[in-house]
A = this chain, B = another copy of it.
Amino acid sequence: MISYSEGLAKILSYAKQFSFESVPLKLSNNRVLAEEVRADRDYPPFNRSAMDGFTISSSDYSENKIYHYRRELPAGSSFQLEKGEEAIRIMTGAPVPIGLDVVIKIEDSLLSEEDNNGKRVSFSLESVRPWQNIAKKGEDLHEGDTVLLPGHTLGTSEISMLASLGKSFVSVAVLPKVQIISTGNEILSIDQTPLDWQIRDSNSYTISSILSKYKIIPESVKNIPDEETLLTEAIAKGLESDILILSGGVSMGSLDLVPSILQKLGVGLVFHKVQIKPGKPIWFGKRGNTIVFGMPGNPFSVQTCSRIFLEPFLRASMGQKQNPVMRLPISGTRNKKGSFTEFFPVRLDTKDKTYLSTVPFNGSGDIRAGLFSDGLAVHPSDSVQIREGDWVEFLPW
């Protein structure tokens, strides 16, 4: 049986980048950028006043000198300095005219009475320095500078930036076509009334919810009993998608038909079973361009396998950076037997410091297992005990 890191490495090695498409920026939240984006011009595009006040030249400044001014320069306009003009009233966001290099804010300005030459102002500052209160053209970005590379997830900061650059359409990774099949004679769709020994299909909801983080809507979601003909038909249909995700039917039982049907349909096994808890019986394979995840049937196993294997695969396939590793201190101790890597639900708690707290549950069949947790913590394969205060790997949901 392979280890967690071997399983993850194998899965990632099968990620083949999907194509890309152009979408309107306003619909691009959480999509994965597929182009290099460069600055279309300098930013700021002009010497921008950062304050409301007056713009003057630093060259002949002195405290209490009387400046004459006539004009007021709002944002969205542009002035050329006129002959003899030594000060201009200027607004935040307006371009400082060529020949001037200082903005003094209105609070430091002393307005005098108008004389024959126009309005008058002096300033209470002992001295000024060139470019004070001015964001200089190009100080943030120069035209042609690379701003974003392919692989960035488009969150608020990225979308804000792309809007500034005028990218009303943006190239993003195409979303894969996904089908989901929950298998098991005991599984009913959630709008049916179960008999005492039946349970409802939560797994397809778990998987769909995780896919929705990536804006993926499954093409089809089915519940299929452990019946060879029906299951073969559904799986054959599922193999027409990019990714087929099954839950249930991959363990040791005589009705665990999924592996044999997959192999009969020509899906090549990459691995079956990984040294992890929960999720040990996971099956992973490939036919043509279709990747198949066969997850165990327990709800917490599905949520864990989705987080530790499916999501990294999706990210790699969309050319997206992997989530960076996080390590936080944990409260309490945790003991482990055996050499499996174990994943357990944890909550973020904060007193003076943010730390992880374990969330108790009754094993991977417990429908409450993930509830009230912020993610999974990792108990590494070679560690017997996690101790109070250890910095533990944390995988946020």
A95, CB-defined interface residue at 8 Å: yes
Counting every copy of the chain, the complex holds 2
> Is the contact region of chain A dominated by helix, strand, or loop, or is it mixed?
loop
Instruction: Choose among B29, B45, B89, B397 the residue that contacts A199 (Cβ–Cβ < 8 A).
Output: B45
A327, CB-defined interface residue at 8 Å: yes
Residue pair B209, A155 in contact (C-beta under 8 Å): yes
- Please give the number of chain A residues whose Cβ is less than 8 angstroms from any Cβ of chain B in the complex: 106
The complex places the Cα of A325 from the Cα of B349 at a distance, in Å, of 8
Residue pair B328, A354 in contact (C-beta under 8 Å): yes
The complex places the Cα of A253 from the Cα of B75 at a distance, in Å, of 10
Residue pair A191, B205 in contact (C-beta under 8 Å): no
A346, CB-defined interface residue at 8 Å: no
Residue pair B185, A167 in contact (C-beta under 8 Å): no
Q: Give A139-173 as 1s and 0s: 1 = Cβ < 8 Å from B's Cβ atoms.
A: 11100000110000001111111111111100000
Residue among A208, A225, A256 with most chain B CB within 10 A? A208
Residue among A354, A391, A394 with most chain B CB within 10 A? A354
Residue pair A163, B202 in contact (C-beta under 8 Å): yes
Residue pair A397, B184 in contact (C-beta under 8 Å): no
A91, CB-defined interface residue at 8 Å: yes
Residue pair B184, A167 in contact (C-beta under 8 Å): no
The complex places the Cα of A300 from the Cα of B279 at a distance, in Å, of 43
A367, CB-defined interface residue at 8 Å: yes
Taking the nearest CB of chain B, how far is it from the CB of A27, in angstroms? 9
Q: A93 to chain B: which residues have CB within 8 Å?
A: 184, 186, 199, 297
Q: Give A326-355 as 1s and 0s: 1 = Cβ < 8 Å from B's Cβ atoms.
A: 111100000000000000000011101110
Q: Give A295-334 as 1s and 0s: 1 = Cβ < 8 Å from B's Cβ atoms.
A: 0010100010010000000000000000011111100000
Q: A185 to chain B: which residues have CB within 8 Å?
A: 74-77
Instruction: Choose among B91, B212, B306, B327 the residue that contacts A255 (Cβ–Cβ < 8 A).
Output: B91
A366, CB-defined interface residue at 8 Å: yes
Residue pair B140, A366 in contact (C-beta under 8 Å): yes
Knowing that A141-B368, A157-B371 touch, tell me 11 more A-B residue pairs with CB under 8 angstroms: A45-B194, A74-B254, A74-B255, A77-B197, A135-B366, A140-B368, A141-B367, A160-B367, A163-B202, A164-B199, A326-B350
* Top-8 shortest CB links A-B: A76-B185, A157-B370, A76-B186, A163-B202, A163-B205, A75-B186, A91-B253, A95-B197
Interface set of A (CB-CB < 8 Å, partner B): 25-26, 29, 43-46, 48, 50, 52, 72, 74-78, 89, 91-95, 106-107, 135, 139-141, 147-148, 155-168, 184-187, 190-191, 193-206, 208-210, 212, 225-226, 251-256, 297, 299, 303, 306, 324-329, 348-350, 352-354, 361-363, 365-368, 370-373, 391, 394, 397
A-B contact list, 13 entries, CB within 8 Å: A43-B366, A72-B254, A74-B254, A78-B195, A78-B196, A91-B254, A92-B297, A140-B366, A156-B306, A160-B205, A164-B299, A168-B190, A328-B353
